[in-house]
Amino acid sequence: MTLGLVRIIVNPISGRGHDLHFLRELSRHVALRGFEVDLTTTQGRGHARVLALQTPDTARCVVSVGGDGTHREVLSGLLYRPVPACIVPSGTENVLARTLRLTGMMREIVTLIQFGRSLSLDVGQANGHPFLMFSGVGFDAAATWEVQKNRQGPIERTAYYGPILRLLWRYGFPSMTVTVDGRLLTDDAGVVLVANMPRYGDGLRIASRAIANDGLLDVVCYRTRERWQMIRHFIRTRLGRHLGHPLVAFDRGKRIEVHCPERPLPIQVDGDVIGNSPVTYTVLPKAVRVLVPGTPYGATEHAPAQAGSQAAL
């Protein structure tokens, strides 16, 4: 009799790809500890979610090996279910793993599966599409699309630099209107980011006050229509001085609506483009579980305040 099923879902094109030797060793170590192991490689976009949905509620956990988009898919298949996810970073940015301070080392993964604490996190929704970390409307989503449409396999962070610079010179930054819980926040946002966690790509902490299980989403609006102003915004953000600037609007709430009167703008969630504006954001409180270092699996979680402080790191 095994201790339960551990399903390992691997995205072979995340970041720099996957290491077959590492995966075989991981499966062996998990099996030696008494678990039933099912190792599966995704076949395309959306497949990780299907595999997670097919995982029985009696499973020990689902191990998600990939980038932030893969983790989003896996966790979207585990909404409000008792099965937690074990996050293994192998993507380009690995924002979720960095937020949870997970390294993806073999010893860490096996320990999490055996003894990890199940931590509940909120899930944001953009027009019904779930996300764990952030969603962007406008420029960053357009840059993401430029990278995705030509992608053939694993990529590195440098793959984004060229498209971002080229897009910066031709993007018009049309104004967006943003409301939070029915209140007008701004009607001249050039870039909008809605976040469930503080970290963004490239080490930026755009929504630095976001807490991952407070039942709210944070929204940061950069008010600009000029590329030079956007560059100055980037510098202030890099220095952590953007939220107090008069051309940056910030708020948090349970329902955030964004629309652009000029034209539909692309939307990305956790690095995947999912459609165009207008967009309505809502939040599912504590809808998924992830394994983090702590007391043995199955024990009581930390109190929400403690869990929130860890998830907001």
pLDDT in tens, 96-114: 999 999 999 999 999 999 9
> What pLDDT was estimated at residue 231?
85
> Are both 89 and 139 inside the same structural domain?
no
Domain count within the chain: 2
> Are both 213 and 167 inside the same structural domain?
yes
Return d(Cα 257, Cα 281) in angstroms, integer. 6
> What pLDDT was estimated at residue 271?
84
> Are both 138 and 271 inside the same structural domain?
yes
Domain containing residue 140 = 129-284
CATH number for the domain that contains residue 111:
3.40.50.10330
CATH number for the domain that contains residue 266:
2.60.200.40
Both tokens of 256, joined, read 């955030």
> What pLDDT was estimated at residue 18?
64
- Residue 89 domain flag: yes
- Residue 308 domain flag: no
Tell the residue number behind the tokens 């209140």, with chain if given: 183
> Are both 87 and 146 inside the same structural domain?
no
Tell the residue number behind the tokens 């409307």, with chain if given: 137
> Are both 170 and 59 inside the same structural domain?
no
- Residue 245 domain flag: yes
> What pLDDT was estimated at residue 15?
56
Q: Which residues of the chain have pLDDT under 70?
A: 1, 15-18, 148-165, 295-313
> Are both 268 and 133 inside the same structural domain?
yes
> What pLDDT was estimated at residue 24?
94
> Are both 95 and 134 inside the same structural domain?
no
> Are both 223 and 150 inside the same structural domain?
yes
- Residue 297 domain flag: no
- Residue 311 domain flag: no
> Are both 155 and 269 inside the same structural domain?
yes
115-157 residue pLDDT tens: 999 999 999 999 999 999 999 999 888 887 777 666 555 555 5
> What pLDDT was estimated at residue 41?
94
> Are both 69 and 180 inside the same structural domain?
no
pTM score, whole prediction: 0.86
- Residue 91 domain flag: yes
Return d(Cα 238, Cα 224) in angstroms, integer. 17
> Are both 178 and 96 inside the same structural domain?
no
> What pLDDT was estimated at residue 286?
97
- Which amino acid is located at 11 in the chain? N
> Are both 222 and 195 inside the same structural domain?
yes
Cis peptide bond prior to 278, omega within 30° of 0: yes
